[in-house]
Structure formats: structure tokens, C-alpha cells
Structure 1
Amino acid sequence: MDAKEWLAVNALPGMGATRIAQLVARKPQWPQGWLAALPSNAANALRLWLAQPERSPLQQAVDETLAWLQKAPRRHLLHRDHPAWPALLNQLPDPPVVLWAQGDLSALESPGLAMVGTRRPTSEGSGHAQAFARELANRGWCVVSGMALGVDGVAQRAALAAGGRSIAVLGCGVDVVYPARHRDLHEQLGSLPGGLLLSEHPPGTIARPAFFPRRNRIVTGLSLGTLVVEATEKSGSLVSARLALEQGRELFALPGSLHNVQARGCLQLLRTGATLVRHVDDIVEELQHWVPHYLPTAHTLSSVEPASAQPLASSVKQPDADSQPVDRLLNALGPAPTPIDMLVQQMGLSVSECQQRLLMLELDGKVAQQAGGWVRLAAPW
């Protein structure tokens, strides 16, 4: 089946991801086998589309996506017959029928680890998220998350800054920025090498609360395991943890202080069987049963100092001969917020390049983003 046919199936009335997955498992021939197996209303809708697409409501969904694909580069529609379709999703009882994608599809080639956690991490939690994400990126892993505030965004920024790969699964269309504060991260994921945005919702779909639990099943479904960095006892991250276990994936959690409210969810997970993690080696050892199909090759899994012992900026690619632009960028900042468009104009950089270098400086504790722009936190190097 091609992209148009999968789009039509996705738009069939009265169907859903679970029912379509059950039908796909029977391997019906297209289209007669599908017409025979579908409920009458869905079969009638498909029959009309096959015979007279111009009269079918399904054609609108097809046309809108085809138009979206043609308007800009790095846009894709993934489905079971697409060469980049992640096979791990087929193990879910309700995999998405199609996925709209913006960015670098090579991100799907690396083994994925979901990193999730609270939207209000402590400084220690943020540091752990950055360090683990950087080391995972250096070892050839892809950090998968939901681009949410807090741990999700921190981990994904760190993976990209290390020159690695990261996938964000959204609870809205891939062209919709949610949360709004992550506009720069959204742009990086959609434009930088190794970055990818995915959604089972068509472009233009606004974020809704009901979409996020279903989004989480794709985050964990794309991943060999899920690492919970910090979470409260009623954190949404615990939903992801439950989904990972239901999907037969490994669940990892970082220990935390008994007095840290943001760590109580992790302690609860550890009590109920999650694997305690001290550094990335603990994760790799637990996932050896996925060899050889999903883990990086042996030369990629070189010995690296545990994340917990690394300085937070050690894995970020530092500029060498090209360090002068970063010096100039830092020197252009002061205690008053400077808008990024002004920095782009002053430095002669693209927006993406400027954001990437600001992120490197932010991870080094040199700059911070505030209302109105970026400020310098430390003296120039």
C-alpha cells in the first residue's frame, strides 16, 4: 500500500488504531481483502474513495497531506510500507496508522531510549538529564521524548548539542509549537541533523489534553527502554513508565533524596521493580538482549566515563578553529535581555546556527534565556 492508501485508511469512519492494527494482523489483500473485513460503514467509505475519490470525504485528508508534503523540505509521511517506518511500533496493540514527520529520518536508525520526567526538575535533575542525554548521544543512541517543559526538553537539547539524535513525539501537529516556550527547540528538532518531529495527528492539529497519554505510547513504543529522571508521585511520567512495562520494554529510574518531592515518583518505581541506574553503562547492560538488531555496533559502544562522573559540559561538541563566532556571540550579550533576531543580525548567522551556539553556552552555564531574549551569566572566556 502507498501513502495515499494509508491516509485513506487512517481517515475511515468508525475505525481507530487498535481496530486497524487487528485488521492488519490478518494480512488482507488490498483492496478486496480490506473491503471484505471492514465494518459496513468503513467499507462503503473506502469503496467510494476507490471508485470516485473526487466524491469521497476521505480524499480531503489525502489532498491536505500531499499539499503539506510539497510545501517544504524534510517533510515525510510514514506508514508500515515506508522504508523508514520504525518496526518497534508494530509490536504495540495500537500503533499509529500513519505518522507525519518533519526533520531527519536517520534519527529512526539509532536505537532509542525514552527520557521523561517532571516539568519542574531540580538543578540536580536537570544536570542528570543533560549528562545522560549527552553520553547516550555520544554512544550512538537517540533520545526520544515529548518536547515537554522540564526533563524532556533539557534532555533533547543536550542530545542535539552533543551532535546526536533526538526524536520528539508531539500531542499536536508537527507544525504546531507546544509548549510555546519551546519554539527554538521545535525548530532545531525539525531542521538540525539528527532531529525529528513526529505526530499521529495531521498538521495544524492543536494540542489537547487527551492527546498526550496516547502520545506517550509512541514515545515508549519507539524506545528499547524508558529512563525516568525525576518524577513526583502523581507525575505524568509514571504513565509513560506504565506504558513501557505494558509494551515489554525496560524501565529505568534514577534514585533521589528522600526529601526531594520531585524524586518520590522514581523511588516508587524502584520499589516496584524498575532498574536503578547510576550511569549509562547500567542501561546498556540491561538492554543486551536486544543485540544485534537494535543496539549500536561494538565500535560505537566505546568505554566512556559514567555520566554521573562527567562534568555537565564534557560531552558537548566544543568549537575548535571556529571558536571565534562563539566568543563574539557571548561578548554580544550582557545583563539586559537581547532578542535572538538582533543576535542573528549582529553575528551574521542563521537562526538555527545561532540557537545551537546559544544552547552550547547555556549548557556551559554562560548564558540564560529570559523574557525578552538572552542574557550573559558569566564573563567572556
Structure 2
Amino acid sequence: MQWLDKPNHHLLTLDHPDYPPLLRSEKIADRPPLLFIHGDAALLSSKQLAIVGTRYPSSEGEQTAREFAEYLSHQGLTITSGMALGIDGAAHCGALAGSGKTIAVAGTGLDRIYPPQHRELAHKIAETGALVSELPLGTSVQRRHFPIRSRVVSGLCLGTLVVEAPERSGALYAAKHALKQEREVFAIPGSINNPLVKGCHQLIKKKGAKLVEKATDILEDLQIYRSLTTPNKIETPHFSPKQNTNNEIHPVPSSTTTDSPASQPVRTKPKNNPSDLDSNDVQLLNLLEAGPTSIDALVEKCGFTAASVSSMLLMLELRGLVTLNPGGLYARI
């Protein structure tokens, strides 16, 4: 395939060791057997947040999506969306202005850019992030593909944030898939007279979505910066959230360096746990004493949601207590 011969073009199968662990979850219906990727394939295994919404947002909604994406990307989250007009595009642009780490899940083959207005945006995403599609090259725009690709958007992520969405917005597909996948769902409320937020209100009222007023609400819920030490160097976010908070924010680096699996020592006895770990972290570490384990297996054994387990594993990984091995298996260090 000539397409694969080009720089930064990748094809991952479901059994490939680099296939994103969260997307491999059994909670996801019809897991994509193939993923076409243009850009940084390793980014698909990073900690991600989906930001979705209407294609026809208000200026305030578009600004909110951009600011949330920029700020959260600086905190170590990769921002994932569908590259549609409106909120999706604003989220990608915000992430590009932040860490540059953003993933666009396409509803066409990767040799087709849709919408055409986002051709330049797609080029920028491929430079520092990744374009992803489960659809074969040459697949043109078909309406039925977009609701289906939403399960990939949510499936890659710890949670999904809906910024603005009318009652029948296509953006709600991602939220519905996230709920089925047992991932977190967040929604930003608005005026009861604003039709653009009716879908958000329904998610909060009937589906248990968590009401979000500021970006730090998401970090706190996902426990992204819990028990972290601030890195010596990190780029300062380009904006300050509208709502001030007295809580100090400890940024998360976008990637961590771990030893290769081959260099990991073989453990013959349990290691002592740091005294500042909470009981949930300790439970997770104890489960990993049995050997490399998938997220799904950990979820089944401990009873936490996949999003909670993923967040805890991130924190433990950043503290040098666990490592992610090929095949999406986590192991205690």
C-alpha cells in the first residue's frame, strides 16, 4: 500500500501491541479491527479527553471549547474530537495553541478531508497530533459513518465533555457511547432559554453527566493532577480560566519516560507502597503484583469504572510505580 510508505502513516490492527488500550475495552461495541493513522501513533495511548458539540455554536460556546482545550492540553490531556465544524474545530485549535497534542477521528478515509474547510486544520493536526480513521482509504462522506465514529472518539478517552449541543445534536452520540463504555461524561450548562444547551441539560438531568463550570472541575474528577510534583519546566498556559480557584494546579507532562519491558526487574516479593497513597491506589498496586494486567481485568477485579482505573494508573505511572507494557498491559515496577 503506497499510502503506508509515506512518512508518519501507520496501520494498527486490533492485536497490535500499540493499539490503544482504552479502545480495546470489551465495553466498546464493534471495536475497530483496523486503525489508519496519520501523525503520532503513540498519542492514541495517551490520556485523552473528548470535547464535542454542535456544528453551529454561539461565539461564547466556541470560545469556551477553545479555552478548555488549550488549558487542559497544558495539563497533560490529549484533546480528541471529530474535526467537524463548530465546537470540534474550536477544540482542536485550542489544543494546537496549547501543547499541540490533539487527535481527530475522521468519518471518511484519511485520504479524504471532511469538511473541506478544515483541510489546513487537518494538516496542522497531523504535524503534532494525529488523524485517525477506521474506514478504508477512498471512503467518501456518508452520513451513517459519523454516528458510528463517535464510539471511537469516546472510546479513546477517559471522558467526554459536551460544550454546546441542542436536543438532537449529533454530538450527543459521543456522550451516549461514553456512558455505555462506562467513561465519564461532562456537560457545560447554560441559560434555560438557550436551545443550544438543551442537550447538555438533558445529559445532566437524565443521564448523570457531571456539570462543569471550569476546566479544573474535569481535572479534579479525573484526578489528573492528584499527588503530583510540579515539573521543573512546563509551558505556561496562554489563558487564565474565567473562574478563579484557590487550588494550586500541578501540570502533568504530556508524556513520561519508562524503561522498556525487557529492562524491568523480575519481582519475587511484594514491594512496599508509599505512605501517601490512598486505599484505592494500594488496591490497584496489589492487583498488579500478580503480573502484567489489562485495564479491563483490573476493572473487573476492583469494581471501579474504566475511567477511574485509567486515571489512577496514570498517577501511579507518573510516580514511577507502574509501567505500560506492549499490548496495553500494566505492570508494577
TM-score (norm 2): 0.67
SS in 2 for 1:198: strand
Does the CA contact (< 8 Å) of 1:111 and 1:296 recur in 2?
A: no
Alignment of 1:170-209 (within 5 A): 170-190=106-126, 192-193=127-128, 195-209=129-143
Say which of 17, 33, 43 aligns to 1:83. 17
Higher RCO (Cα < 8 Å, 6 or more apart)? 2
Say which of 64, 68, 75 aligns to 2:3. 68
- Partner residue in 1 for 2:171: 237
Counterpart Cα distance in 2 of 1:246 and 1:109: 20
Counterpart Cα distance in 2 of 1:307 and 1:246: 31
How far the C-alpha of 1:296 sits from its partner, in A, is 11
Q: Deviations over 1:321-378 (max 9, x none)?
A: xxxxxxxxxxxxxxxxxxxxxxxxxxxxxxxxxxxxxxxxxxxxxxxxxxxxxxxxxx
Say which of 141, 145, 152 aligns to 1:218. 152
Does the CA contact (< 8 Å) of 1:280 and 1:306 recur in 2?
A: no
Question: Do structure 1's residue 94 and structure 2's residue 30 form an aligned pair?
Answer: yes
Does the CA contact (< 8 Å) of 1:101 and 1:199 recur in 2?
A: yes
How far the C-alpha of 1:87 sits from its partner, in A, is 0.6
Give 1 or 2: higher helix fraction: 1
Say which of 75, 84, 103 aligns to 1:167. 103
What runs of 5+ residues in structure 1 fail to find an aligned partner?
Answer: 1-65, 311-381
Q: Deviations over 1:169-201 (max 9, x none)?
A: 1110112110011111111112x22x1000011
Question: Do structure 1's residue 270 and structure 2's residue 204 form an aligned pair?
Answer: yes
Does the CA contact (< 8 Å) of 1:140 and 1:296 recur in 2?
A: no
Question: Do structure 1's residue 284 and structure 2's residue 216 form an aligned pair?
Answer: no
Counterpart Cα distance in 2 of 1:83 and 1:148: 30
Q: Deviations over 1:36-94 (max 9, x none)?
A: xxxxxxxxxxxxxxxxxxxxxxxxxxxxxx32201x10100012333321010111232
What amino acid maps onto 1:68 in structure 2? W
For these two proteins, the number of residue pairs brought into alignment is 238
- Partner residue in 2 for 1:57: none
Counterpart Cα distance in 1 of 2:241 and 2:82: 22
Shift of the 98–151 alpha-carbon distance from structure 1 to 2, 3 Å rule, reads same
Shift of the 172–241 alpha-carbon distance from structure 1 to 2, 3 Å rule, reads same
- Partner residue in 1 for 2:319: none
Counterpart Cα distance in 2 of 1:203 and 1:176: 8
Counterpart Cα distance in 2 of 1:236 and 1:298: 40
Alignment of 1:25-64 (within 5 A): none
Shift of the 113–296 alpha-carbon distance from structure 1 to 2, 3 Å rule, reads farther
How far the C-alpha of 1:114 sits from its partner, in A, is 0.4
Does the CA contact (< 8 Å) of 2:21 and 2:45 recur in 1?
A: no
Shift of the 94–127 alpha-carbon distance from structure 1 to 2, 3 Å rule, reads same
How far the C-alpha of 1:284 sits from its partner, in A, is 1.7
How far the C-alpha of 1:281 sits from its partner, in A, is 1.7
How far the C-alpha of 1:306 sits from its partner, in A, is 6.3
Counterpart Cα distance in 2 of 1:307 and 1:74: 35
Shift of the 157–213 alpha-carbon distance from structure 1 to 2, 3 Å rule, reads same
Counterpart Cα distance in 2 of 1:297 and 1:206: 45
TM-score (norm 1): 0.59
Counterpart Cα distance in 2 of 1:109 and 1:296: 22
How far the C-alpha of 1:269 sits from its partner, in A, is 1.2
What amino acid maps onto 2:210 in structure 1? T
Does the CA contact (< 8 Å) of 1:116 and 1:237 recur in 2?
A: yes
Alignment of 1:342-353 (within 5 A): none
Question: Do structure 1's residue 148 and structure 2's residue 84 form an aligned pair?
Answer: yes
How far the C-alpha of 1:107 sits from its partner, in A, is 2.1
Does the CA contact (< 8 Å) of 2:37 and 2:132 recur in 1?
A: yes
Identity of aligned residues (%): 46
SS in 2 for 1:136: helix
Shift of the 239–298 alpha-carbon distance from structure 1 to 2, 3 Å rule, reads farther
- Partner residue in 2 for 1:249: 183
What runs of 5+ residues in structure 2 fail to find an aligned partner?
Answer: 245-333
Counterpart Cα distance in 1 of 2:83 and 2:195: 22
Counterpart Cα distance in 1 of 2:99 and 2:160: 21
Shift of the 170–297 alpha-carbon distance from structure 1 to 2, 3 Å rule, reads farther
Counterpart Cα distance in 1 of 2:83 and 2:55: 10
How far the C-alpha of 1:297 sits from its partner, in A, is 5.9
Counterpart Cα distance in 1 of 2:96 and 2:227: 18
Counterpart Cα distance in 1 of 2:229 and 2:104: 27
What amino acid maps onto 1:279 in structure 2? K
What amino acid maps onto 2:111 in structure 1? D
